[in-house]
Each structure stands twice: as C-alpha cells, then as structure tokens.
Structure 1
Amino acid sequence: MLIFFNKYLNLNLNVISYLPYRAIFSLFTSFFINLYIGPYFIYHLKKLQKYQIIRKNGPKTHYSKNNTPTMGGIFIIFSIFFSTILYCNLSNIYIWYVTSILIGYGVIGLIDDYKKIKYKNTQGLQLRYKYFWLSIFALGFICIINFYNKDIISTELIIPFYIKNSFEINYLYIFLSYFIIVGTSNAVNLTDGLDGLAIMPVIFLTCGFTLIALFSENINNSNFLHVRYVKNSGELAILCMAIIGSGLGFLWFNSYPAKVFMGDVGSLSLGGSLGTIAILLHQELLLIIMGGVFVCETISVILQIISFKIRKKRIFKMAPIHHHYEIKGILEPLIIIRFWIVSLILLLIGLISLKVC
C-alpha cells in the first residue's frame, strides 16, 4: 500500500519503500498493534466470558486456567493482515495466497473455539467437518497455483543435507503440499497446550523463512546458499516479519502465566500460513526440520493412539508430549523454556543445512 501511495500520489516515501525498511516497519507495526489492542481485547473476552475450556482428563495443574480467555488469535490475525496490507506490494500474488489461508483457517478455528465455549466441552467442531474445510482451503490453494500460476510450482523436492539437493516427485507434490498445509496447522494446534509454548517456535520458524525469502529473491544469493530462486519472494519476508511482530506482541500476554490463549483461531491460521509459505519457497522438508518441535508433538499423539489401539497400553503418560513431562512433575515454565531452546537449535540446524547441501 505504501508503494501505491508513493507511485500514484508522488509522496516522498523512497526510504521506507525499500524492502528491508518495509519488513522492519511491518514487524514493529504488528507488534505495537497487539500491545495496544491486547488489553482491550482481553477485557472484552472476560466480559463476554469467552474462557478456555479445560480437558477433564488433562493435567490437574490446568484447572486453574479455566478463567483464562481464549480466541486471542483474532488479534494476531488482525495485526498480521493490517501490517501486510500496509507494507506489502499488493500486486504480489504470494501475499494473497498466504493471507487467504491465514483468514480461511482462522475462520475455521473461530467456529471451533465458539462451539467449545458455547457447549462447554473440548470437542468443538466435529473432526470430519473440521478436516473437510481445512482440506477445501488447502486443495483450493493447490489447484489455483497449479492451473493459474504453474511457474510457482516445482515438482522437485529440495532435500536438506543432500549433495544433489533435489529429487523429482512429479504428481506426489500435490499430496505433499496438501499434507504440509493441513499437517502444519494441526501440529501447531497440538503444540498450543502450555503458556507461550507454540508461539515462540512459530516465531523462530518464521525467522528462518524470512531469511530464505530474502535470499531466494536474488539469484546470486540463492545459488550461494543452494536455495531455489523464487522471483519476487522478498514480499513474503515482509509478511513473515508481520507474523514475527504479531507473535512477539501476543507473547507479551501469553507468556507464563498467560492472560490469554490464542485458541484454534490462532493456531490453525498460523500453522496453515507457515505451511503455505514453505510451499511457495519450496522448503517443505526444511519446514519439518526447523519446525521439529511441532513434528515431535504430532508424532507423540500418533504413537500414543496407535499403541493404545494395538497394545492397549500408552507410551506416554499423556499426549501431546508436553503433557507427559507435566505429569512427570516438571514445572510448566521449565518445559516451555526447554522446548523454546530445542526450537532455536532446530532453526539453526535447518539454516546450516542450506549451505551444507
């Protein structure tokens, strides 16, 4: 939008029209928006009694959180969207792909949260309807870029730490893209079980994608780091910075002890957006490495279900795995910080793999 004003209204915005400046301003804008509207939003959520519904079979330490408001993801989405519209070049199709998933998945999560609060249970939107709509948005996105923007899609899968760097997977790429978007949204949702546990790994992962988006736009830098050249991907860095700023602003209120939870409206939208960004940057496997915390949380749930159905025994005391550590007696702040540390290490490993391969 700033580019539009500069071009058509002849405003003296040459300095802040540069991509790095727009990216930095995008971060600060989304951050301060959340700091400003956060207290008002939390106040009205409490007034409307939009409180988190606690699992009856969950850790007993969570019972004290039943008066903590949820659906804080609404102001996460708002600040991201506002900063994106303000600072990004709106003619860039990448921006509209990511924001469409951000808002679409946010609406699905909002309905899910609303049903949980209305009926005072943790079921929310029935799984078949939830996955149906998540799939509709994901497949819709995949179909659109396949039919209208084929130059964006590549059926080569970039493999970190692999000398040849890529592997042709042909039409399996469609399935992989679907799995990445839907899987990442649910992985972030599963991880969002402790105060601030999910949002910091989201921030770390988005930091990695910000760097990749900047390097991918320049063909010399992309060759040096062995990342795929993606024309005009720099605008994605501005959107990523908006996510980082919004995440930091939300963490201000979500850090232990949390004053608000993001709810499904936040976790589904953020996860879906990260999956979409990974596809547009052709870094699907790098997402799995840098987002390893989300992967481990998801795998712990899958293993728990399989083990119980086959062996009638549980591998973990409770899944996702962060609840396992809670029940073992590890304090919540310690679990959170240690998961953050692991997430940062995985980010660095992922970035190192770019140059190694």
Structure 2
Amino acid sequence: MSIWSKVLVGLIFVSAVAFYYFATRTLASHAAWQKAVATYPPVLEAQQKLIKTFEEGDNTTTPPTPSISELEVKLHDLLTGRGKVWRGCKVQKFEDGTLKLAVEVPFPDPHQIQDKMVLYLFEEADGGHYMGEYKVEAIGDKLVSLAPTMMPPTPNLLKQQIDRVKGTRSTWSMYEKLPTDRHDVFRGYDQNQLSQLMPGVPAEVLQEYLRDGTDAQPNDPADRVVDKKYERLLRDYGEYFHALNGQLASLRDQIAAATTDKRIAEKLQADTEKEVQARVTLIDKTLKPELEESKQEVAVITAHRDGLQAKLDEVRKQMDATLADNRRLLAQWVAMQTSAAKRLDEIIDRETAGTAAPYTGE
C-alpha cells in the first residue's frame, strides 16, 4: 500500500470520527429541541390568551384590563386634555428666598415654551413630588426662567419646599395643564391598591373612589347618581391648591394677629402687675400707717365725743329739772295772779256798788 493510500485511510478515519461526533451532537440537539417543543404549547396558549386580552380587554381582573383600542382612546383623551409636556428637564439654578428656577429643557428643539406661560412641575422618579405651579419669566434657547405663582405661606412650608427642590435626584416634567381628575383613572382598584397609590388619604375619601361606578345606594345624594350608578365628585386640583394656599395664608395672618394680641395682653398684664405691686407698696408703706393713725384719732375723737355726750346728757337732766321747777313756779305764779285778779275784781265791784268794805290791804 502506497503512502497516499495510507494518508487517505487516515483522513477517512479522522473524518468518520468527526462525523460521528457531529451526528451524536445532532441527535442530542434534536432530543433537546423535541423536549423543549413539548413545553411550548402551554406557553403559546398563555401568550395567545394574553394577546386576546390585549385585543379585547378583560373586565374580570382587578383593575379591569382595557383593550388596545380602549387604551388608544384613553391615550387620545389624555393627550388632548393634558396639553403639552416637556420631559427630562433639569434644574440648573435655584434661589432659596424666592424659589425661582432656571430649568434646562433638552427637547424638543425649539422647546416652544412661551413667555408668561403657567407650567406645572413634577418629579419624574417613582413616588416623585408635585413641585408646584410656576410662571415663565424669561426664555432662552435651552434655559427657561420660572417663578412660583404661590409662595408657601409659612416658614416651615417654605423650608420644606426648599429642601424638596435641593433634594431632588431626578429629572422633572413640566405640564402645560395640571392633570385633571377622571372617573376612569382609579375605577376597578381595590382598597389596598388605592391605599398604596394614595397614602395618607382618609378612609372616607378612599371609599368614594372604591364606590365610583358601582350601583347607587338609597342614601346616596341625588347629584351623585347617574344612570343608577354612583359617581364621585371630580376635584379641580388647581383650584384646591389655590384655595389651600389662601387658607394657609389666612391662618398665618390670624396666627400673627393672635401673636400680636397675646404680646400686647402680656405687656398689659405685666404693666398691671407692676401697678398692683406699686399700689400694694403704697398701701403697706403709706396708707396702712395713715389708717392706724386715723384709727387712733378716731379713738380719741370717739372718747371725746363720749365725754361730750355724757356732759350733754347731764346738762339735759339739769335742764329738765330746771324746766320742771319753772313749770311748778309758773303754776304757782299763775295761781297767785289768778287769785289776785279775782280779789281785785271783787274790790272793784264793791266800790262801784258803794257797799264795798274799805280795802284793808289783805
């Protein structure tokens, strides 16, 4: 056998080994694919159900799953009602005292923001905050200067807003219109889901959202029943924010007035206490000694009066005795005068008659 024959046999042997290896791998892959294919029907069926759910929707889930066509209608309504939105905005400058902002608007270019436009700012991160209502003061190519339309009415709220702006770690979205309240946004959610979406909301308010769109009850207000269904009252959040800010400002003014009144009352109280202390000092140092002196003088005067009264009583007794003697003497004198007059009349009568006895002087 020639050398080429030997080489050819060697190559055939090597090729046979290689073909054997690849045939073995092919059989193993085929078995693996057959095993995998056996698991595909349930997955395919689940995906087909999911596709059907997306196409037709599912009202049995909580919340109900809308169809793609329903989502397109809702998306159209949302886009129509929300106005323009600028996303991915970054705060480049912030003034603590005035809360004014300089915000970078990355797109679109140009951004189409107009001067004096009112914008509503939100953080884009999950659980982000509503950052407030701002008005455009100046416009640049990429930067927009904004000023708040409502300043926080109290120092604590102002500090809270400053900390919130300084502590933001995400980009912001700026809305041309404040998102409106809608019936279909929260319908179908259970209480736990609503509590997670709206933490801190009172239970009675969550109950309004839970009942929204359900059958009306006999005690429901007439203006909350539409086609025998309960419909909660939609809220104008922009109006609420302005009203709340006004109430807080009013409370701030009332607190300031009450604080001023309290300070005035405290000063009046302090002045009154000083006046009372001065009067007490005057009473202790001046009036009480004068009172003691007056009491002593009253005692002397009283003793003198009592002495005079005793003398007066004695004089009255003497006067009464003298008057009694005078009455007795007057009675005697009257009796004497009467007797003398009678005697004189008798003498005159005798002399007149000529028969009178001569007067003997008796």
Which is strand-richer, 1 or 2? 2
* TM-score > 0.5, shorter chain as reference: no
The TM-score normalised by the length of structure 2 is 0.25
Which is helix-richer, 1 or 2? 1
The TM-score normalised by the length of structure 1 is 0.25
Structure number with greater Rg is 2
Higher relative contact order (CA 8 A, sep 6+): 1
